[in-house]
């Protein structure tokens, strides 16, 4: 994991090296101070006249110079070092979002958006602090421990060895609590994602909540999630408190050991009072450094957890956008063939489609009807490869879709769905989404073809009107016409209409149906319909059930046959 993470350091290796140099300079300043105190103390012990004012001024000037160096070094670490961490975070967020864009529908079917938002934001904030402070803090601690050992060893190696043998005990306490802290912080991150998901779900569904007067129910649900988050945070703080309490205990042990053992060495004449003062100052420096590591451990664990969760997403298999020797679709006629295809959503799950054979000619208007769960939407979703086939093949103009580049395949297919999604932005921006390089005139022409131009011009700011989140400021029929305008602009040869008018009122349905009729002209069109009166003029109608295609033919042929379709149509007509 660290090997993979280190890749993100490479563009900033120069900044990191300068940062570590500054850390070294700052640490040297701390290591020199006890020696200055020792020199002054030992000189003063020689007699009243031994310590000269010139010596004090020289040592003071030396330490002032070191403090200036320390100030500049710390400014660089606090400023440029943090900016480097922010750049690294930006790079990681870019890669994470790029990867999310490449993940298949299957991943999003099983993942909460709130969890993903937590990984893109909160986790990466923690990684920023980790990426900057981790090498810096451990480098500083390493210099202090090694530097202090060398300096003190030159004073009294035996005493130094005894004191430093206590350090492993402190390190053992670190490792004892490290695993529990890591697990606790990982669970805390997971619970943050759950809380985000619940919050997003409640806020996006606020109209449903208010229409059912279920505010109290939502408060109760959120309260449960909030309480779970508190419990996970409480556990994390418990292990952190045990960790910090243990290190504070060892702080006291270190001071006691220096005073007691150092006093014994002084009695035996193996240590001077000035040496003991130097030991106490160095031990204070070491303990301060270790305490910094202790304080950083919480951030360290959050950073490690964030990195693990980051790579969990990056390890998710992506869609194959460009198969080997892939083909770019050009001059598409729109012939579509389903050759003995079978499909199920998960291993061990039930087959949704089983041995389907279907051949659609260019320009045909094909309709699929049947009970819910029969696989109508699934069948159409397989054409743009939203899901991978389990067996069989689908071809467009005789070319297997598995051999076509994914972008080329989807650029030649347009979809209109019942649940229209408009992005937060203007009407113009939402139509332009169908062809980002289109001119404003082309956008307006597409809107006219979709029957949307007139109502758009009546809006407050016309094409520049803000549609609200998910297009909430527009009616259902208006949103549907904007989505149709988007497809007119895209101008795909293959069209999939998935219950595009089933949620609209009669007046809106009539307007949208006229728009769809114009959109379907000259294109191979696949329509999924529950309102059977809207597909009477389809070239062919297929009745799709859980057992496969039970009937096919024109509306007239199927009505004369008196089978499943006739029953469905008669049932619909009586509603």
Return the percentage of the chain with pLDDT > 70, whole number: 93
- 134-139 long-range contacts, Cβ below 8 Å, gap at least 24? 134/296, 134/300, 134/303, 135/16, 135/19, 135/20, 136/19, 136/20, 136/23, 136/77, 136/81, 137/292, 137/293, 137/296, 138/293, 139/20, 139/23, 139/24
Per-residue confidence (pLDDT) for residue 501, from 0 to 100: 67
Structure-token pair, residue 196: 């985000």
- Give pLDDT tens digits for 346-399: 766 677 888 889 999 999 999 998 887 778 888 988 998 888 888 899 999 999
Q: For 64, phi and psi rounded to 5 degrees?
A: -65, -45
How many C-beta neighbours within 10 Å does residue 168 have? Answer: 9
Reply yes or no on whether the pLDDT at 429 is more than 70: yes
As a whole number of angstroms, the longest Cα–Cα distance in the chain is: 124
Give the lowest-confidence range in 251-260, 360-369, 487-496.
251-260
Reply yes or no on whether the pLDDT at 445 is more than 70: yes
Per-residue confidence (pLDDT) for residue 41, from 0 to 100: 81
Give the whole-angstrom CA distance, residue 238 versus residue 465. 52
Give the whole-angstrom CA distance, residue 392 versus residue 384. 15
Which has more pLDDT, 353 or 48?
353
Secondary structure (3-state) at 29: helix
Give the lowest-confidence range in 56-60, 270-274, 290-294, 402-406.
290-294
Give the whole-angstrom CA distance, residue 388 versus residue 343. 8
Per-residue confidence (pLDDT) for residue 513, from 0 to 100: 79
Reply yes or no on whether the pLDDT at 336 is more than 90: yes
Give the whole-angstrom CA distance, residue 435 versus residue 522. 20
Instruction: Give the highest mean pLDDT range of 49-58, 136-145, 508-517, 528-537.
Output: 136-145
Q: What is the band of 240 on the pLDDT scale with cuts at 50, 70, 90?
A: confident
Side-chain half-sphere exposure of 283, counting CA atoms within 13 A: 26
Burial 25-64 (b: 16+ CB within 10 A, else e): bbbbbbbbbbebbbebbbbeeeeeeebeeeeeeebeeebe
Instruction: Give me the residues paired with residue 368 across strands.
Output: 528, 542
Reply yes or no on whether the pLDDT at 575 is more than 60: no
Give the whole-angstrom CA distance, residue 494 versus residue 414. 6
Secondary structure (3-state) at 511: helix
Give the whole-angstrom CA distance, residue 505 versus residue 510. 9
Angle at 264 between CA 260 and CA 270, to 5 degrees: 130
Reply yes or no on whether the pLDDT at 88 is more than 70: yes
Listed in sequence order, the DSSP H helices in 122-214 are: 122-155, 157-164, 167-204, 206-211
Instruction: Please give the domain boundaries of the chain with CATH numbers for all domains.
Output: 2-314 (1.20.1560.10), 336-574 (3.40.50.300)
- Give pLDDT tens digits for 282-301: 888 887 777 777 667 767 77
Q: Which residues contact 240 (CB under 8 A, 6 or more apart)?
A: 181, 297, 298
Q: For 562, phi and psi rounded to 5 degrees?
A: 70, 30
- Give pLDDT tens digits for 107-130: 888 887 777 887 888 788 888 878
Per the CB < 8 A criterion, the answer to whether 409 and 385 are in contact is yes
Q: How far is CA 72 from CA 31, 33, 69, 471, 521, in A?
A: 17, 18, 5, 52, 71
Per-residue confidence (pLDDT) for residue 35, from 0 to 100: 85
Give the whole-angstrom CA distance, residue 575 versus residue 573. 6
Per-residue confidence (pLDDT) for residue 347, from 0 to 100: 65
Q: Reduce the secondary structure of 54-89 to three states and give it as a string.
A: HHHHHHHHHHHHHHHHHHHHHHHHHHHHHHHHHHHH
Mean pLDDT across the chain, nearest whole number? Answer: 83
């Amino acid at each position: 994991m660290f090997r993979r993470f280190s890749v993100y350091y490479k563009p900033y290796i120069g900044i990191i090296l300068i940062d570590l140099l500054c850390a070294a300079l700052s640490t040297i300043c701390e290591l020199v101070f006890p020696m200055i105190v020792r020199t002054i103390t030992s000189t003063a012990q020689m007699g009243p006249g031994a310590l000269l004012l010139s010596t004090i001024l020289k040592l003071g000037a030396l330490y002032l110079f070191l403090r200036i160096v320390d100030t500049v070094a710390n400014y660089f670490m606090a400023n440029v070092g943090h900016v480097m961490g922010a750049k690294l975070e930006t790079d990681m967020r870019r890669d994470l979002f790029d990867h999310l864009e490449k993940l298949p529908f299957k991943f999003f079917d099983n993942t909460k958006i709130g969890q993903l938002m937590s990984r893109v934001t909160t986790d990466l904030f923690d990684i920023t602090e980790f990426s900057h402070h981790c090498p810096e803090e451990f480098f500083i601690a390493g210099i202090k421990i090694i530097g202090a050992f060398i300096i003190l060893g030159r004073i009294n190696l035996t005493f130094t060895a005894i004191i430093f043998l206590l350090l492993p005990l402190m390190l053992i306490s670190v490792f004892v609590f490290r695993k529990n802290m890591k697990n606790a912080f990982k669970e805390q991150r997971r619970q943050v994602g759950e809380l985000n998901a619940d919050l997003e779900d409640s806020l996006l569904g606020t109209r449903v909540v208010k229409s059912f007067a279920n505010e109290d129910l939502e408060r109760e649900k959120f309260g449960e999630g909030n309480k779970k988050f508190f419990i996970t945070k409480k556990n994390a703080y418990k292990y952190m408190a045990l960790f910090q309490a243990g290190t504070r205990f060892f702080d006291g042990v270190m001071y006691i050991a220096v005073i007691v053992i150092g006093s014994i060495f002084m009695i035996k004449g193996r240590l001077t009072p000035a040496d003991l003062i130097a030991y106490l100052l160095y031990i204070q420096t070491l303990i301060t450094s270790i305490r910094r590591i202790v304080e950083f451990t919480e951030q360290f664990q959050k950073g490690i957890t964030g990195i693990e969760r980051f790579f969990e997403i990056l390890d998710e298999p992506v869609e194959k956008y460009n198969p080997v020797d892939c083909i770019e679709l050009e001059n598409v006629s729109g012939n579509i063939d389903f050759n003995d295809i079978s499909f199920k959503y998960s291993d061990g799950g039930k087959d949704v489609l089983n041995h389907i054979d279907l051949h659609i000619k260019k320009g045909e208007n094909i309709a699929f009807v049947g009970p819910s769960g029969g696989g109508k939407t699934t069948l159409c979703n397989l054409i743009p490869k939203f899901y991978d086939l389990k067996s069989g093949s689908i071809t467009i103009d005789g070319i297997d879709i598995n051999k076509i580049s994914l972008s080329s395949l989807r650029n030649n297919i347009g979809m209109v769905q019942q649940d229209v999604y408009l992005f937060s932005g203007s009407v113009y921006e939402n139509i332009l989404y169908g062809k980002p390089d289109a001119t404003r005139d082309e956008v307006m022409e597409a809107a006219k073809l979709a029957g949307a131009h007139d109502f758009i011009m009546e809006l407050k700011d016309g094409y520049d009107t803000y549609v609200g989140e998910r297009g909430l400021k527009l009616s259902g029929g208006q949103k549907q016409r904007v989505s149709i305008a988007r497809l007119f602009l895209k101008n795909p040869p293959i069209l999939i209409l998935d219950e595009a008018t089933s949620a609209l009122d009669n007046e809106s349905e009539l307007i949208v149906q006229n728009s769809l009729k114009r959109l379907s002209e000259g294109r191979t069109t696949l329509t999924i319909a529950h309102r059977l009166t809207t597909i009477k003029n389809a070239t062919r109608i297929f009745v799709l059930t859980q057992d496969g295609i039970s009937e096919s033919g024109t509306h007239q042929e199927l009505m004369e046959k008196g089978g499943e379709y006739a029953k469905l149509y008669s049932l619909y007509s009586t509603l």
